Structure 1
Amino acid sequence: MQKKTKDIFIIGFALFAMFFGAGNLIFPPALGQKAGTDLIGAIFGFLLTGVGLPLMGIMAVSKFGGNLELLASKANKKFATILSIVVILSLGPLLAIPRTSATTYEMAIVPFFPNMNSLLFSAIYFSIVLFFVLKSSSIIDSIGKVLTPVLLITLLSIIAKGIFSPQGAIANTGLGVSFASGFGEGYQTMDALGATVIGSIIVASIKAKGYTESKEVSKITVQAGIVAAAGLAIVYGGLAYLGATAGNLSMDLSRPELIITITAGLLGTFGKILLGISVGMACLTTSIGLTATAGEYFSNLSKGRVSFQTVSIITALISMVISNAGVDKITSLAVPLLVVVYPIIIVLVVLALLDRFIKNNIVYTGTVLVTLVISLFEALGNFNVSIPMINNTLKSLPLASQGFGWVVPALVVGLSIHLYVTVNQRQSKGRLIKRLALIKTIIK
């Protein structure tokens, strides 16, 4: 295998592992159980948002050197810095990283060691995270060569058993709107958010391998993203199928309970052990990637006054403390923040992919602004802050009931500004041509 191809696969496997957190493990089986015979439509919807959006995120930030702040500065520089800090903190020590430890504890440790102290476990967990992170030059290789194969083997073993020895027949659940249901579940993985910040360490890893030309770095990043997306699609499809063949199980089971019950039914105690390994690897690889990203970002923000190693250690310590609050508490704290941030990230990703058609950065500014305003008011609703006139207006927006009330206004504002700028530039160009022709005539 050529060096470049090998590098693409190693980086792609690392990306897969960093995207595939434990949340991604528990969503597809629940979707499959709910969809039943409507599985194909549900999977398609899930892949669109659970795989398509992260891939678009990687492609978007690769055009800006893997730098979210550089991308967001197309809207406003101060806003870009604030957004980047909020995103890094959300995916870092305040929410996502602590949740990986809490999830591992609840799904992979408690079933086997119910008396294990959570604080002791989190100390061990983050010691392992720091072991890989502080070897910063080989983070991607460590994940891509060592951790991802373990994760993939365990997941594929469970899926293969479920395909060749299904627990039951796929039933008609009467879901009906399977695509919409899958679309919403994929949206909840929030991987597009991670894609915009993980890109920085992916780009750094590619450059460390000797690829320095910006176009080549961008191309390799996208190719690695495609490898990761293919892996995610295969695993998501397999896990959703397991859920669809488990229609005999109670629909009242929580997502974690469902995947634990399915695995135990397929492989008994050995299945529980495999699931524990899968959860541990999925959470660990995600935590390593996010801790390294936080370390790099805040070290750069301080202009090197605080080292990567110091920031990484502080991130791990804060995450360790917060992780002991438990998965449910951490998840509930994340919702209002993500209601605001996630739509903005999606808008920036779409605009970045269309950047060559955008004539003026005011398109970014206007589109992001209207998205921010709508998302802020929706977030206030999570705190039961009611402003009747505004709330009624928001509820009347298309797709508002599905949580996508910002989509149509952002589309309308973005297109309107783009058309205005385009027409105005053409008129200005026309006037300039007429003036030059008049000057030529006078000179003659």
Structure 2
Amino acid sequence: MKTRLSGFEVLALGFMTFALFLGAGNIIFPPQVGQGAGIAFWPAALGFLVTGVGLPLLGIVAVAIVGGGLDRLTSPLPKVAAMLFGLGIYLSIGPLFALPRTGTVAFEMGMRPFIDSAPSTGLAIHSVLFFGLATLLALSPGRLVDVIGKWITPLLIFLLMVIAAATLLFPQGPLGPISESWVDAPFAQGFENGYLTMDTLASLVFGILIVSAIRERGIEDRRTLMRYTLMTGVIAATCLAAVYLPLAYMGATSHEVAAGADNGTLIPTYVQALFGPAGPVLLAVIITLACLTTAVGLLTSCGEYFHRLFPRLPYRVMVIVMGAFSALVANQGLDSLIRVSVPVLVALYPPAIALIALSMLRRQLADAPRVFSCTMGLTFAASLLDGLAASGIETLVKPASTLQAMLPLGETSFGWVLPAAAGLLLGLAISRRSGVSLDPALAD
């Protein structure tokens, strides 16, 4: 059993973690935040960093604290609730939303600028090739750290640094005007836009990959494992923040060269203005590498989860089925995927935040099942209103919005905060009366 890792090993693990998180949403949404915020760049960027960097880091730490993956994190919940929550997360970051989005973004931002006609045919061909390669790599997960951490990520970081430096040194205009929908609460808008990266949900899944990778290097002591997990997470979080801020600044200064650009066209337009004809080529390499590494990580994690859920189906079969299904879903297009995913993520994110917070306190909680159930139950009830209000379904939007407005902070997307606090206090009160001892599953 080893007691320490070399600096190179820690750095490789940190780079692997960064590459797993740096996917489609991490590249397309920061510029959208900057574009909407304009002169309110800093509060909006800070809100985005909380959900896009801070919470994923805490999610990784929470996984290390409980010593297992999502199954261990949700073990205090009733079995049916834990299974449904797990399914919601894995389907969201897997074959329904995040996984197909990697292929769609790789096409829209990496390949589309080079295709003059028949984009639907190009997307179909690209989806088959992209997910075929991702599936092949996911079928050999043992080499994931070596390939991603030691080779792909350093190249990716270098290329992103080139774009970041050019954006900061040669902005294509001053900070633009703030959009009307961002005026009242730019921090809250940035915070909610961070949901779209899905990184907090992904941290509950990728966390066990990171912990397992550290264990494979001979680290077994719990405190040492925690320390290296935190170091790995901090490296990844620092890299993510270093990517997000320049990309958000790109969006904030884009109103002269990319006015009204949508999800898939803002960055290509801006990069071409910066680098000329070489810009699209540079961007194609970055986007393809970023999306491919994330797709491999998602296929691996989701394949292992669904294999545990349905043990009669081999891991390889799960990966192949999800890869093929994702290729089909990817052909719906980027805007459609984003539009459908928003209400689901708005409903799922607050319970995930509550789960992370409770897991970090779990060793100090008596009667964890009651505390978890009360807190997450009330949190989900409130966040479900937000999800229904964002669904775009007319018969649901109006009543959900009316109830949402009755909650304190409801109009700023933080209506779930007080219900979460009330659930925590209720659970603690019940716990105190029951006199149950600390969670035995986490006893030293």
- TM-score, normalization by structure 2: 0.88
- Trace 1:395-406 onto structure 2 (pairs within 5 A): 395-406=405-416
Deviates more, 1:49-58 or 1:365-374: 365-374
Provide the rounded CA distance (Å) in 2 between the counterparts of 1:238 and 1:118: 29
1:36-66 Cα deviation digits (max 9, x unpaired): 4433333222212211111111111222234
Deviation digits for residues 286-322 of structure 1 (CA, Å, limit 9, x no counterpart)? 111100001111222234x332222111111111122
In structure 2, the partner of 1:412 is 422
Show the counterpart of 2:260: 252
Instruction: Look up the match of 1:422.
Output: 432
* Segment of structure 1 superposing worse, 74-83 or 226-235: 74-83
Match of 1:47 in 2: 49
Cα distance in structure 1, aligned partners of 2:375 and 2:231: 29
Kept in 2: contact 1:363–1:417 (CA 8 A): yes
Aligned-pair CA distance for 1:72: 1.1
Partner Cα distance (1:33, 1:336) in 2: 22
Contact 1:150 1:281 in 2 (8 A): no
| Separation of aligned partners in 2, 1:4 and 1:217 | 14
Offset at residue 276 of structure 1 (A)? 1.5
Aligned to 1:349: 356
Provide the C-alpha distance between the structure 2 equivalents of 1:46 and 1:416, rounded to a whole number of angstroms: 30
Letter in 2 for 1:152: I
State the Cα distance separating 1:365 from its structure 2 match: 0.7
1:359-401 C-alpha deviation (Å, 9 max, x unpaired):
2221111111112223334444423344987763332102222
Aligned-pair distance for 1:231?
Answer: 0.3
Bigger shift: residues 159-168 or 246-255 = 246-255
Return the letter of the residue paired with 1:232.
L
Change (3 A) 1:150 1:341: same
Structure 2 distance, partners of 1:390, 1:188, is 21
- How far off its partner does 1:347 sit? 0.9
How many residue pairs match? The answer is 425
| Structure 2: tracts of 5 or more residues without a match | 438-444
Name 2:440's counterpart in structure 1.
none
Amino acid at match of 1:307: P
Q: Given the alignment of the two structures, is residue 169 of structure 1 paired with residue 174 of structure 2, yes or no? A: yes
- Which structure 1 segments of 5+ residues have no match? 429-444
Which residue among 130, 136, 146 is the counterpart of 2:135? Answer: 130
- Superposition CA RMSD, Å: 2.5
Pair 1:243 & 2:251 matched: yes
> Residue 263 of structure 1: which of 267, 271, 280 is its match?
271
Structure 1's 21 and 322: CA in aligned 2 closer, same or farther, altered over 3 A?
same
Q: What is the Cα deviation at residue 28 of structure 1?
A: 2.0
Q: CA separation in 2, counterparts of 1:139 and 1:81? A: 27
Query: Structure 1's 233 and 378: CA in aligned 2 closer, same or farther, altered over 3 A?
Result: closer
Aligned pairs (5 A) from 1:54-203: 54-114=56-116, 115=118, 117-170=122-175, 173=178, 175=183, 177-203=185-211
For the residues of structure 1 that align with 2:103 and 2:96, how far apart are their CA atoms? 12
- In structure 1, the partner of 2:327 is 320
1:289-438 matches, cutoff 5 A: 289-303=297-311, 305-361=312-368, 362-381=370-389, 382=391, 383-386=393-396, 392-422=402-432, 425=435
Mean Cα deviation higher: 20-29 or 46-55: 20-29
Structure-2 residue corresponding to 1:16 = 18
Q: Which deviates more, 382-391 or 249-258?
A: 382-391
SS of residue paired to 2:261? coil
Q: TM-score, normalised by structure 1?
A: 0.88
2: CA distance, partners of 1:64 / 1:212: 14
Supply the distance in 2 between the matched residues of 1:38 and 1:149 (Cα, whole angstroms): 32
1:167–1:334 Cα change, 3 Å? closer
TM-superposition CA deviations, 1:46-101 (whole Å, max 9, x none): 21221111111111122223411211121222321222122112211222111111
SS in 2 for 1:38: helix
In structure 2, C-alpha distance between the alignment counterparts of 1:158 and 1:387, rounded to whole Å: 40
Letter matched to residue 428 of structure 2: H
* d(CA) in 2 for partners of 1:119, 1:410: 43
CA contact (8 A) 1:132 1:142 kept: no
Distance 1:338 1:172 in 2: 28
Match of 1:433 in 2: none
Task: Quote the Cα distance in structure 1 between the aligned partners of 2:209 and 2:245.
Answer: 28
- Tell me the secondary structure at the aligned position of residue 95 of structure 2: coil
Amino acid at match of 1:140: V
Q: Is the 8 A contact 2:264 2:334 kept in 1?
A: no
Shift, 1:232, TM fit: 0.6
Q: Is the 8 A contact 2:60 2:207 kept in 1?
A: yes
Q: Distance in 2 between matches of 1:215 and 1:298?
A: 30
Return the match for 1:207 from 201, 210, 215.
Answer: 215
The residue type equivalent to 1:51 in the other structure is V
- Cα deviation, 1:239-293, whole Å, max 9, x if unaligned, reads 2223333342454222332212211110011111111222112211111110000
Shift in CA distance, 260/387, structure 1 to aligned 2, threshold 3 Å: closer
Q: Which has the larger radius of gyration?
A: 1
Q: 239-248 or 17-26, which moves further after superposition? A: 239-248
Is contact 1:31–1:42 with CA below 8 Å preserved after alignment? yes
Cα distance, 1:420 vs. partner?
A: 4.8
The residue number in structure 2 matching 1:431 is none
* Offset, 1:5: 2.4
Amino acid in the other structure paired with 1:89: L
C-alpha distance in structure 2 between counterparts of 1:387 and 1:106, whole Å: 31
Give secondary structure in 1 for the equivalent of 2:114.
coil
What residue identity is the alignment partner of 2:204? T
Determine whether 1:282 maps to 2:284.
no
Shift of the 299–410 alpha-carbon distance from structure 1 to 2, 3 Å rule, reads: same
Contact 1:137 1:205 in 2 (8 A): no
- Percent identical across equivalent pairs? 36
TM-superposed deviation, 1:176: 7.0
Q: Distance in 2 between matches of 1:107 and 1:173?
A: 25
Quote how far apart the aligned CAs of 1:197 are: 0.8
Q: Are residues 101 and 214 of structure 1, via their aligned partners in 2, closer, same or farther at CA, if it must alter by over 3 Å? A: same
